Each structure stands twice: as structure tokens, then as C-alpha cells.
Structure 1
Amino acid sequence: MPTVAPLDLDGHVVTAAFIGDTPFFATASGNIHRLDSGEKVTEAHQGLLTCIRDPWSDSLISGGEDGRVVRTTRDGSITELAVVPRKWISVVAGGPQGAVAYAHGRSSFVQLADGSQKEFPVDRTVESIAFAPKGMRIAVARYNGVSLHWVATPGQPVDLDWKGAHTYVIFSPDGRFVVTAMQENALHGWKLDAKVGADTRHMRMTGYPAKVKSLSWSPKGKWLASTGAPAAIVWPFAGKDGPMGKAPLELGTRADIMATHVAFHPLEEVLAIGFIDGMILAVRIGDNKEALLRRPGKGAITSMGWSSNGKLLAFASEAGDCGVVDISA
């Protein structure tokens, strides 16, 4: 049976993630807690709106109501990357070679390691940004679609259009697909290696009873897990056309208890599913075998993050009851 080391924090916890073997918990108040020979706290923002684990470096990147973009490293030290007075920074992304993207209003910005900055305006409010897995390229989610920009090359963006509000964007690990979560109860995807205008370019993933607020790719990109239902909805992406014409898996089904966060194991096709009642299940793709990682708690699971070796899982909740699950026990 997995063991749980609990941590009670005040208020909504936005993000749980590991840097090395150290778990970090970012709260909406702006404090970042880490469990490193005891609990230690760094004040990163006056009101934190977003915090991500940078996939390209051992750090967190966060944005806040104070207009600041901040990088937090393993020892808890922070570096201010950008500041935009009187703006709320609710969109950030980490990229290769120390690059960081952020947005406010109708503009997205990429700041390179040397401090130089490039702006990429769009017609409507920027909702989300993602870096491609290869090359210095970003996807910007907006109303009616996604815009793809090469950071180092001037020129017009590639516009991937689909009517509706796109609130979150993610590249597949191999870079062949871009997928968005929409304001309606659906995902939408584009096959980037299809010919422009081809019917196979679009991928509609519908049928959710609620909005999708969490997405996670399996280690090799064969599966994309999502919330938005009283189970994890997991789409197959192994074929050249992704999930088109295929039904998704439904893992960890719990009657009317909605899944609120999903996080694939970093090494195996095992999915952690957090629910609105605070429960966490792990489900293995191959045989649908379930393991209870945490019993219900005080609030909905808002974030989960695995350690690099996949033996520890940090989790956070909207009520502040957080912790670390040790699955090697």
C-alpha cells in the first residue's frame, strides 16, 4: 500500500511538482513551499495566478497578479524574468535554451536567455502558450483557434482555425499534433504533418459532460489523458492519424465523481487520476488495473507531479490539503 506524507497549507494550492527529489507546492497567495529537510517557504508573488514545472530545466515558472514572471530553482531562490506593471500574468510556458513565454491581453512574448524579447500579437486574448518539443516554435491558443510562430524567424504565423474559444494548448511529444481544450466540453486537434486543407487535419474529440481542465501525455506520446468526466478519458495517438475514428479509453470511472487532474507516470503507461473529492487513483493502461493512492480529502485535486524516477507523486488541492505519495513502499 502506498504511503502518504501529508502537508496542510492555507487556501488554494495551484501547483504540485518535483524539482529533482524535492516536492514544491505553489499557493494562490504567492508562496512556494518546498519539502527539503523540513518545510521551507519562498514568497514569489503578491497573488499567484499560474505556475508550471519548466520541462527544459530544473525550475518552476510562475506568473502573478503583481505583473511578474518568476523562475524558482531547486534551492528556492527566485529570479525575476519579466515585469509588466498593472497587468495580471496568467499564462506562462518554458522553452529550450532558457527561453520563457508569457502573455497578457492580446500579446504573447518570448524572452530568450540573453534577455532579448519578441512580441507576437494576436486578434483576441491569449489563453495559453506551449513550446514545440523541437525547434524554437510556440503555439498560442486564442478565440477561434491556434497560431504557430517561429520565434527566430520573421514572417506570418501559421493559423490553425476552429470556431470557439480555445483555453489550453499542448503539443504532442513528437511534435506531430497540436491539441487544445475548449470552452465548450471538447478537445480539438490538428495533425501538423497533413497537407494544408486536408480533411485529416482536424481532430474533434467530443462527448465530455464537463469542460476539460487537465491534459497529460504518456511518456512516449501514445496516449493523451484528459479530465472533463467522472473518469479519465484517454485518447489513442499511436497511429498516423491520432484518435480519428477511434474510441477513447475510460479509466478510473467513479459514477458521478468528476476527475479534476491527470498526470502520467514519467516512465510507464500508468496514469494518476485526481478527483473532485480528493481521491487519487493510479490506473495501468495495459490491463486497467487500479491502485488507490489516496483516500478522499477536504478538496478537489488541483495538481499532481511525479518525481523523475516515478516513485513519488506530489499532489495539491483547492482546500490546501496536499502531500506526497510514495508508491515504492
Structure 2
Amino acid sequence: MPTVAPVDLDDHCLAVTFLGEVPTFAMASGLVVRLDHGTHRHELHDGLLTATPSWNGKALISGGEDGKVMQLDADGTETELRGPARKWVSAVAPGPQNAVAFSEGKNVTVLLADKTERHFEEARTVEGLAFAPKGLRIAMARYNGVSLAFVNGNAPALDFEWKGAHNQVLFSPDGRFLVTAMQENALHGWKLDGKPGGEQRHMRMTGYPAKVKSLSWSSKGKWLASSGAPSAIVWPFSGKDGPMGKAPLELGQRADTMVTCVAFHPIEDLVAIGFGDGMVLAVRIADSKEALLRRPGQGPISALAWNKPGRLLAFGSQAGDCGVVDIAG
């Protein structure tokens, strides 16, 4: 039976991760809490807007209303990657070779490991960022699509157009697909392995009753799980055309509450699903078998993250009731 170690942080939890083996909770106030043989508190921002683990999983990269971009290492070392500024940092993304990207309004900055910077400007506000899994290419989600730019060199950005507001962007782990979450209760995708100059291949994933705020790829990229419905909507991406012409799986369906967060297990085809009433389930892809990891709590689940071996699951909620589940008990 799974065991839960609760942590009450009394604040909206925006992100959770494991820095090595250290559960780390990033709160909307700007507080980041590490559970490392005791509770360690780091006041990183005056208002946190975005936080994500680094490419190697050993640090947390965050941006805030104060314009700062911060890095917090597993041992508690705080590094200011960019000092206070007038504009809010609304998205951050870690990249290979220790690159970090952040956006403020229409502008995107990529900080490289050798301290050089690359700057990109879009016509509209950049809402989401992601690095390609291979090579330093950065995707910038904006109104009416995504721009895909090479960090090095002066090649013009590739534009992937689709009408509407795109506020999150992800590459598939194999780099073959680009997927966005939209304002319009939908996902949109593009195939990236077409011929140069050929027609763009679109993937429309619609039918959600609410906005998709959480997305997670399975470890090998065969599946993409999403929130925004009474069950986790899991799209198949194993074929050459991704989910086109195929129905998604609907896992963990409940009649009275919505899925608010999803996180695929790092090794197995198993997805953790957080709900609007604070419940957390684990559901296996192969047979839809469910395991209750946490009973309903005070607020909607807003963040989920597995540790690397996949034995521990950290969770956070909008009400600040957070914790760590040991699925082996």
C-alpha cells in the first residue's frame, strides 16, 4: 500500500521536482522548499511565475514577477542567472549543454554555458518555451503558432502557424513531433520529419471540456498524457503520423471532478493523475488498472513529479497541501 508523507506549505504550489533525491516544491509566493533531512526554505522571488528542472535534473530553474531568473541546486546553492528587471519572466526552459532560455513579453533570451547570450524577438508575447532534444533549437509558442529557431548561427526561424493562442510547447522525446496546448481547449501538433520546404503536417487534438494545463510524455515518447477532462486523455504517438486517425485512451475517469495534472512514470507505461479534489491515482496504460496513491485533499492538484527510479511521487496543490508518496509503501 502506498504511504504518504504530507507537507503543509500553505501556498499555491506551482511546480514540484526531485533535485537528485531531494523533493523540491516551488510556491507562487516565490518560496522554494527542499526536503533534505529537514525543511529548507529559499526565498527566490518576489512572486514566482514559472519553474522547471534543469536538463540534467540536478537544479531548479525559475522565473518571477521580479524579472529574476534563478537556479537552485540540490545542495541549496542559489545562483542568480539574471538579476531583477522590470518585465515579468513568464516562461523558462532548460536546454542541453547547460543552456537556459527565458521569455519576457515578446523577447526570448538564451543563456549559454560560456556566458554568451542569444536574443530573439517575436511579434506577439511568447507564452511557452522548449528546447529540441537534439541540438540547440528553441521553440517559442505565441499567438497563431510556434517559431522554431537555431540558437547558433543566423538562419531565419521556421514558423509553424495555426490560428489561436498557444501557451505551452513540447517536443516529443525523439524530436519527431512538436505539440502545443492552446487557449481554445485543444492541443495542436506538427510533424517535424517532413521534407524541407514540404507542406506542414498538422495534428488536431480537440474535444476537451477545459483548458489543458498539464502535459507529460511517456519515457519512450509513445504516449502523451493531458489534463483538461474528467479523465486523463492519453494520445498515441507510436505511429509515423502520431495520433491522427486514432482515438486517445481515457484513463482514471471520474464523474464528479476534472483531471488537473498528469505525470508519466520515468520507466514504466504508467501515469500519475491528479484531480480537482486533490485525489491522486496511478493508472497503467496496458490494462487501465488503477491504484489510489492519495485520497482527496484541500485543493486541486497543481504539480506532480516522479523521482528518477520511479518509486517516489511528489505532489503539490493549489491549497499548499503537498507531500511525497512512496508507491512501494
1:73-95 CA distance string (max 9 Å, x none): 00111101113521111210000
Is the contact between residue 139 and residue 169 of structure 1 (CA under 8 Å) also seen in structure 2?
yes
* 8 A contact 1:185–1:209 mirrored in 2: yes
Task: Report the Cα offset of residue 196 of structure 1.
Answer: 5.6
Aligned residue in 1 for 2:193: 193
User: What CA distance in whole angstroms lies between the structure 1 residues aligned with 2:29 and 2:315?
Assistant: 18
AA aligned opposite 1:105: G
Partners of 1:231 and 1:195 in 2: how far apart? 36
> Whole-Å Cα distance in 1 between the matches of residues 87 and 46 of structure 2?
13
2:11 aligns with 11
2:168 counterpart SS class: strand
Q: Which amino acid letter does the alignment assign opposite residue 38 of structure 1?
A: G
Q: 2:44 matched to which residue of 1? A: 44
| Alignment correspondent of 1:205 | 205
Q: Structure 1, residues 261-295: CA drift from partner, whole Å, max 9, x if none?
A: 00000000000000010000000000100000000
Whether the 8 Å contact between 1:200 and 1:241 is mirrored in structure 2 is no
Structure 2 CA distance, aligned partners of 1:155 and 1:162?
A: 22
Structure 1 Cα separation of the partners of residues 138 and 167 of structure 2? 15
| Correspondence for 2:217 | 217
Separation of aligned partners in 2, 1:93 and 1:60: 10
Partner residue in 1 for 2:321: 321
Write the distance in 2 (CA, Å) between the matches of 1:167 and 1:46: 23
Q: Which runs of 5+ in 1 are unaligned?
A: none
**In structure 2, C-alpha distance between the alignment counterparts of 1:129 and 1:182, rounded to whole Å:** 14
Q: 1:57 to 1:296 in 2, by over 3 A?
A: closer
Q: Could you list the runs of 5+ residues in structure 2 that have no partner in the other structure?
A: none
Partner of 1:125: 125
In the alignment, structure 1 residue 162 sits paired with structure 2 residue 176:
no
Task: Give how far 1:195 is off.
Answer: 3.3
Residue 73 of structure 1 pairs with residue 73 of structure 2: yes
Residue aligning to 2:229:
229
Letter in 2 for 1:174: D
* TM-superposition CA deviations, 1:21-66 (whole Å, max 9, x none): 1100111111111111111111111111111112334110000111
1:112 is aligned to 2:120: no
Output one character per residue of 1:85-140: Cα deviation in whole Å (capped at 9) or x when no partner. Answer: 21111210000111100011111110101211111111100000000000001100
Does 1:56 find its partner at 2:56?
yes
CA–CA separation in structure 1 for the residues paired with 2:136 and 2:188: 23
**Residues 42 and 77 in structure 1, CA contact (< 8 A), matched pair in contact too:** no
**Separation in structure 2 between the aligned mates of residue 292 and residue 199 of structure 1, nearest angstrom:** 45
Change (3 A) 1:143 1:200: closer
Q: CA RMSD in A?
A: 1.1
Corresponding residue for 1:254? 254
Tell me how far apart the structure 2 counterparts of residues 300 and 90 of structure 1 sit (CA, whole Å): 22
After TM superposition, the score normalised by the length of structure 2 is 0.98
Q: CA deviation at 1:256?
A: 3.2
Distance 2:54 2:291 in 1: 29
Aligned to 1:82: 82
- Fraction of identical pairs, as percent: 64
The farther-off stretch of 75-84 and 318-327 is 75-84
Is the counterpart of residue 102 in structure 1 residue 107 in structure 2? no
Q: Distance in 2 between matches of 1:274 and 1:57?
A: 22
- In structure 1, the partner of 2:240 is 240
| Matching residue of 2:277 | 277
Q: Give the aligned residue type for 1:118.
A: R
Q: How does 1:288-327 map to 2 (within 5 A)?
A: 288-327=288-327
Distance in 1 separating the partners of 2:244 and 2:226: 16
| 1:264 aligned residue | 264
Deviations 1:144-189 (A, max 9, x none): 0000000012121000000000010000000000000000010000
Contact 2:55 2:98 in 1 (8 A): no
For 1:135, the equivalent position in structure 2 comes to 135
Indicate yes or no: 2:91 matched with 1:91.
yes
Counterpart of 1:261, as a letter, is C
CA distance in 2, matches of 1:13, 1:200: 38
Is the CA contact 2:19–2:57 (under 8 Å) kept in the aligned structure 1? no
For 1:294 and 1:55, locate their aligned partners in 2 and report how far apart those are by CA, in whole Å: 29
Moved more, 30-39 or 179-188: 30-39
Corresponding residue for residue 178 of structure 1: 178
The offset of 1:199, in angstroms, is: 6.2
Question: Are 1:195 and 1:201, in contact at CA under 8 Å, matched by a contact in 2?
Answer: no
Alpha carbons 1:298, 1:321 under 8 Å: kept: yes
